[in-house]
A and B are shown apart, each in its own frame.
Chain A
Amino acid sequence: MRRIVSIIILIIIAVGFIFAFSKIPFGKDKINVANYYIKKGIKQTGAVNIVTSVVLNYRGFDTLGEVTVLFIAAVGLGAVLFVERKIQKNMDDKEDKTKRASLILRTGSRLLFPLILLFGAYIFVHGHLTPGGGFQGGAIIASGFLLMYLAFPKQRINKKTSGLAESLSGLIFVGIGLLGLVFSGYFLTNFLPKGIPNTLFSAGIIPIIYIAIGFKVGFELTGIIDDLLERSR
Chain B
Amino acid sequence: MVNPSLLIAVPLAFAFSIPLFGLVSKKIGKYIPVVALLINVGISFILIPQILKKPAVVSIGGWSPPFCINLVVGPLGVFLVTLISSIGLLVAIYAISYIKEEPTEKYHMLFLLLITGATGIVLTGDIFNLFVFFEILCISSYALVAYNKDKEGTEAAMKYLIQGSVGSSFVLIGIALLYGMFGTLNMADIASRVTSADPTFLFISLAFLITGFGIEAAVFPLNAWLPDAHSSAPSSISAILSGIAIKTGVYGVARMIYTIFNADGILTFIAFLGLLTLLIGEMSAFRQNDIKRLLAYSSIGQIGLIVFALGIATSLGVFAGLFQIVSHALAKALLFLAAGYMIYRVGSKSIDSLSGLGRKMPLTSFAFTIGSFSLIGLPPFAGFISKFSIVYAAIQVKKPIFLVFVVIALIATVIEAGYFFKVVQNLYFKEGKNVDNVTETSGYIIVPMIILVISIIVIGIHPQFITGLLKGAAGELLGRTGYIGWVLGGS
Identify the A interface with B (CB < 8 A). 16-17, 19-21, 23-24, 26, 30-34, 36-37, 44, 57-62, 64-66, 68-69, 71-73, 75-80, 82, 84, 163-164, 166-168, 170-171, 174-175, 177-178, 180-181, 184-190
Are the CB atoms of A20 and B129 closer together than 8 Å?
no
Are the CB atoms of A188 and B60 closer together than 8 Å?
yes
- What's the minimum C-beta distance from A198 to chain B, rounded to whole angstroms? 22
Are the CB atoms of A171 and B13 closer together than 8 Å?
yes
- What's the minimum C-beta distance from B106 to chain A, rounded to whole angstroms? 4
Task: Tell which of B107-115, B224-232, B286-294, B307-315 binds the partner.
Answer: B107-115
Are the CB atoms of A184 and B136 closer together than 8 Å?
no
Count residues of chain B with CB under 8 A from any CB of chain A. Answer: 64
By DSSP majority rule, is chain B's interface helix, strand, loop, or mixed?
helix
Are the CB atoms of A171 and B17 closer together than 8 Å?
yes
Q: B173 — which chain A residues lie within 8 A by C-beta? A: 17
Are the CB atoms of B177 and A58 closer together than 8 Å?
no
Identify the B interface with A (CB < 8 A). 3, 5-6, 9, 12-13, 16-20, 23, 58-63, 66-69, 102-103, 106-107, 109-110, 113, 116, 120, 126, 128-129, 132-133, 135-136, 139-140, 142-144, 146-147, 149, 154, 157, 173, 177, 180-181, 183-186, 197-198, 200-201, 204-205, 207-208
Contact of B139 among A73, A178, A186, A189 (CB under 8 A): A73
Are the CB atoms of A187 and B3 closer together than 8 Å?
yes
Q: With A19-B201, A71-B16 given, name 13 new contacts (CB 8 A).
A: A20-B204, A23-B197, A24-B201, A58-B68, A62-B129, A65-B133, A68-B136, A71-B113, A72-B110, A72-B136, A76-B142, A178-B13, A186-B61
- What's the minimum C-beta distance from B74 to chain A, rounded to whole angstroms? 18
Contact of B181 among A24, A62, A66 (CB under 8 A): A24
Are the CB atoms of A65 and B204 closer together than 8 Å?
no
Are the CB atoms of A79 and B143 closer together than 8 Å?
yes
Cα distance A20–B181 when bound, in Å?
Answer: 9
Knowing A164-B20, A167-B18, A168-B20 touch, does A187 contact B60 (C-beta < 8 A)? Answer: yes
Are the CB atoms of B69 and A61 closer together than 8 Å?
yes
For B17, B106, B186, which residue has the most chain A Cβ atoms within 10 angstroms?
Answer: B106
- What's the minimum C-beta distance from B27 to chain A, rounded to whole angstroms? 17
Knowing A75-B109, A175-B13 touch, does A33 contact B143 (C-beta < 8 A)? Answer: no
Are the CB atoms of A61 and B129 closer together than 8 Å?
yes
- What's the minimum C-beta distance from A215 to chain B, rounded to whole angstroms? 13
Are the CB atoms of B140 and A72 closer together than 8 Å?
yes
Closest to A175 in B: B13
10 A-B pairs with least C-beta separation: A76-B143, A31-B183, A65-B132, A170-B16, A187-B5, A186-B62, A79-B106, A189-B62, A24-B180, A23-B201
Are the CB atoms of B61 and A166 closer together than 8 Å?
no
Q: A167 — which chain B residues lie within 8 A by C-beta? A: 16-20
Closest to A26 in B: B180
- What's the minimum C-beta distance from B166 to chain A, rounded to whole angstroms? 11
Are the CB atoms of A20 and B177 closer together than 8 Å?
yes
- What's the minimum C-beta distance from A183 to chain B, rounded to whole angstroms? 10
For B6, B60, B116, B185, which residue has the most chain A Cβ atoms within 10 angstroms?
Answer: B60
Are the CB atoms of A65 and B143 closer together than 8 Å?
no
Knowing A75-B109, A187-B3 touch, does A68 contact B12 (C-beta < 8 A)? Answer: yes
Closest to A57 in B: B61
- What's the minimum C-beta distance from A172 to chain B, rounded to whole angstroms? 9
Q: B208 — which chain A residues lie within 8 A by C-beta? A: 16
Contact of A16 among B135, B154, B204 (CB under 8 A): B204
For A71, A166, A181, which residue has the most chain B Cβ atoms within 10 angstroms?
Answer: A71
Closest to B133 in A: A65
Are the CB atoms of A58 and B139 closer together than 8 Å?
no
- What's the minimum C-beta distance from A112 to chain B, rounded to whole angstroms? 30
- What's the minimum C-beta distance from A60 to chain B, rounded to whole angstroms? 6
Cα distance A34–B12 when bound, in Å?
Answer: 29
Are the CB atoms of A60 and B61 closer together than 8 Å?
yes
Q: B63 — which chain A residues lie within 8 A by C-beta? A: 44, 58
Cα distance A21–B113 when bound, in Å?
Answer: 35
Are the CB atoms of A65 and B129 closer together than 8 Å?
yes
Knowing A61-B60, A65-B136, A69-B132 touch, does A164 contact B23 (C-beta < 8 A)? Answer: yes
- What's the minimum C-beta distance from B40 to chain A, rounded to whole angstroms? 15
Are the CB atoms of B184 and A75 closer together than 8 Å?
no
- What's the minimum C-beta distance from B237 to chain A, rounded to whole angstroms? 12
Closest to B63 in A: A58
Contact of A20 among B6, B102, B146, B201 (CB under 8 A): B201
Q: A20 — which chain B residues lie within 8 A by C-beta? A: 177, 201, 204-205
Closest to B103 in A: A82
